[in-house]
A and B are shown apart, each in its own frame.
Chain A
């Protein structure tokens, strides 16, 4: 997760605010699960600068902490591809187990945890030595992956078992399970580790979990005038580094919600493209990108102006998104 705020990045965003084009690059990577490629967007211009063909059905994306490597979870190729962000070449693959969908990189930067959707496993991969460290049996259709900032706990959600599984990263064993609402898709810790957000696509809620117990302390619900409740399907969740703003992608309701990180009240719904899946902050946290699965575009939310400022056409069926600060 990118949380560092360099002076350069701040400067760049000031420049963006006054309408000039920033000189410092923030690079957006979008996986397109149908066209089997990665769209690269220069955030400064908000234009597509490159499209890189990759393996089949790329979904989850993760960046190495230095931003040098992009981990691409190519679900139908049963592998994690590693792209050098400098040369934009695939340099090698990581053994991932079958059907990797979403991953999370340990704060050490050494271990990538991926959910093997078809195999009821979470696989821990040593990204340097390219070997599997552990396969952890979890519930059915594992998907969401979160890691505590201290690196001690990895949380996986399983879509059919409807649980968040808490995995000890020392022993690679599950030590707690929390039942959440139907089809949990995503797990996201706050940067201080005090809260964990877990979205439930079919349940239509986001559970706020105190991970120290662990227990659910609140359930966020959503209501959008004119949209049937069945269409409000929370998927991707991102929390600002101060914990105050929680952005939730709401699937076929074509909305992203902004939730207050203290009161857990929904404060705003942004209209984005169709079937919004995943979200990512720019490193300066001034913008949020959303991948819109059906409309083949990404939407850019300007957090300060509090509105959607642009849609950018990408490949077919965009799914994952990450943003590097160079």
Chain B
């Protein structure tokens, strides 16, 4: 695989480009890049969750192959570059990509980095936010040159909430981590509870006291501590975990004081994609992916793959490889994307979020897919997930 670890390749690239330096490369190919910004993150609790080296890039490769197969019938060519950089080099890396004619850039970056990139790129690039779930990016901090193929926290929380309300498990014991993104996820669950008629009967914060994730002592302390932590909660139907930082969630099932199911960051999880999602032709995507990559498709891979397929669809339908033509086709909102989740995905014109179903998965199986049939909407049931048009804070 072609992974380019970012170095300041040329003095010119590192000097930074003026905003007017629009590349004059003829559109003989659809050039896209996956820009993975390596934010330092602690290791996951389970070694089975360790991120593979090609996380996200693999989705780009399979998506590019998919596009190329269609492209051969239309004389369209798709070229994708893969760049991995530390946060401080992200801006330079993007400038170099744009200078080389890579104007469609899929970012795997946190929200502040994404915003810096978007503001620097202006109309010279179209960014696809694969991994930043922040609701703010779809609201007050939305940008005209950013599309969100990945899920927002709101979509995840709403998807789970619909299922739990369908189950009549409406009394929630919410446990949130102590990092800002955990709080943000917990806020999304609070909003979802209000939106769909559930109640948070108890809320606790699990403080991250640091330290290594995996030790030789294993589960011994966990077994003693977590039951006590969850003791004497008000009567609840389900425990909801908001632990994006992955500090404690993976340990929580079977260690709660009361015998209650666990959902959210562990147990029943709202995800964009799952290796067991075989309905709606999903098996074919898994087969292609594992044949080409040699492992299962992760959530990040799916989000990047979806971004690639959006490009493929734009090129096919517009009959063009030109950046401006394709960008206008994508942002015009008339395109439909097939993502193996049972219905057409489209672009929300108010915040550029891709509307899509959310998979609810536990362990090795798909439990359900939201939106649930019981929740109606005057326009699209998919708009019951995340920020709907009337609530949008986006003024791009």
Spell out A's residues near B (CB within 8 Å).
117-118, 120, 139-141, 159-163, 165, 174, 177, 179, 181-183, 202-204, 228-231, 233, 252
Contact = CB atoms under 8 A, between A and B. Distances in A.
A162 B343 CA distance: 15
A159 to B, nearest CB: 6
Contact of A182 (B66, B73, B338, B342): B338
Best-surrounded residue of A117, A161, A163 (most CB of chain B within 10 A):
A161
A161 B73 contact: yes
B336 interface: yes
Contacts of B287: 118
Q: Is the interface of B mostly helix, strand, loop or mixed?
A: helix
Contacts of B336: 181-182, 202-203
15 contacts: A140-B66, A159-B284, A159-B338, A160-B69, A160-B70, A160-B284, A174-B73, A177-B73, A179-B316, A182-B338, A202-B338, A228-B381, A229-B380, A233-B343, A252-B342
Contact of B316 (A117, A162, A204, A231): A162
Given A140-B284, A228-B381, 12 more contacts: A141-B284, A159-B284, A160-B69, A160-B338, A161-B73, A162-B316, A162-B338, A179-B316, A181-B336, A182-B336, A233-B343, A252-B342
B66 A160 contact: yes
Interface residues of B, number: 21
B382 interface: yes
A230 B344 contact: yes
A228 B344 CA distance: 12
Given A141-B281, A141-B284, A159-B338, A230 B381 contact: yes
Contacts of B338: 159-160, 162, 182-183, 202
A139 B69 contact: yes
A303 to B, nearest CB: 30
A162 B73 CA distance: 11
A75 B283 CA distance: 12
A133 to B, nearest CB: 23
B284 A118 contact: yes
A139 B342 CA distance: 20
B69 A161 contact: yes
A175 to B, nearest CB: 12
Interface string B230-271: 000000000000000000000000000000000000000000
B284 A230 contact: no
A179 B318 CA distance: 11
Given A117-B284, A141-B284, A182-B338, A230 B66 contact: no
